[in-house]
Amino acid sequence: MMSTPKTLLGTAAVIALMALLPFAGVGGYVLGLMTSALYFGVFAMGWDLLFGFAGEVNFGPSFLIGVGAYTAGLLNHYAHWPIIACVPVGALAAVVAGLLLAVPALRLSGPYFGLVTLVAVLLLQNVIVIFAGFTGGEIGLDLPDVLAISSRVNYWYALGVAGIVALGLFALSRSAVGLILQASGQDAIEAAALGFNVVRHKLAAFCISALVSGLAGAMLVFYLGTVSTDSVVDISIGVQVIIAAVLGGRRTILGGAVGAIFLIVAGELLRPVGQLSTFIVSAFALLVILFFPGGLLGRFIVREGA
């Protein structure tokens, strides 16, 4: 495995290279794809902090994403707040919603925690559909503002967010806090016996996960120019995030971004087979889980014996 400073430097170099992509003759269509992939990468990295480190499987990443996205979207649509105000408020709303969900839910373990997060998504989706007059329901809500018209600028925004989140979360995961989280995830009783406050660390992980998910969710809707359940809340969004994170490699953080980009690229390459592309991507992810449980990046980043 690579040492922390080396990996951070390597990641920064990759981000810098990716920032040059628009000058390398890459067209607007590909940049658009990459923009979505990068936001998904942020979702997956936030999810991995909970799954890979805190050991909690969150079936509802799209609850946090959706709260951030809809808060930002509604503020922009009705109150005409500028984007610069909507995005942080959306991210904060995701943290608050995440806390409301996690404080009681973290008392539960394993499948119960997973179920509560799944139910949270279904409830959010129902609420949005029931109050369709206000939220736009399944059709969605148009936003008066967008981040940028140019696909280059949009791409740079996404890359900036994804880059900061990647470096920040990776450094966090390698810090003392990250180690305590990992210990809490693997053996909560032993970690507690060593004097660590397991619940508080997991709660912190949940808040950070909520913050980045909400932030990227809010940015994503201002890129899309519309906020709808299909694009930010639906269960299938959550499943995509989970597949990306597991495919890239759990407990690697960076794997989430790699997995998300891989999924989007694979989806494009598999376009000729049409409907079957989801099947092939799922089958590939299943094979990775069965034969290389460490994921695409597992070999390089996971600690030995971890």
Note the residues at the interface with other proteins (CB under 8 A).
51, 55, 57, 104, 107-108, 110-112, 114-116, 118-119, 122-123, 126, 129-130, 186-187, 235-236, 239, 242-243, 246, 275-276, 278-279, 282-283, 285-286, 289-290, 292-294
User: What's the closest the beta carbon of residue 74 comes to other proteins, in angstroms?
Assistant: 21
Q: Which is nearer to other proteins, 85 or 287 (CB)?
A: 287
**Smallest gap from residue 70 Cβ to other proteins (A):** 18
| C-beta closer to other proteins: residue 117 or 151 | 117
77: Cβ contacts below 8 Å, ≥ 6 apart: 141, 142, 143, 144
Phi, psi of 58 (to 5 degrees): -100, 105
Residue number, 78 or 279, with CB nearest to other proteins? 279
Give yes or no for a contact between 84 and 95, defined as CB atoms under 8 angstroms apart: no
Between residues 73 and 295, which has the closer beta carbon with respect to other proteins? Answer: 295
Helix (H) or strand (E) holding 96: helix 83-105
Closest distance of CB 34 from other proteins, Å: 25
- The 3-state DSSP class for residue 101 equals helix
Minimum distance between the CB of residue 208 and other proteins, rounded to whole angstroms?
20
Return the number of the residue (9 or 132) whose C-beta is nearest other proteins: 132
**DSSP SS3 for 215:** helix
Tokens of 171: 């450094």
Contact between 182 and 189 (Cβ < 8 Å)? no
Q: How far is the CB of 125 from other proteins (least distance, A)?
A: 10
Backbone φ and ψ of 225, nearest 5°: 80, 5
Q: Residue 90, SS3?
A: helix
In the complex with other proteins, the residue whose CB is nearer, 25 or 274, is: 274
Closest C-alpha among 13, 67, 50, 37 to residue 172: 50
CB of 185 to other proteins, least distance (A): 8
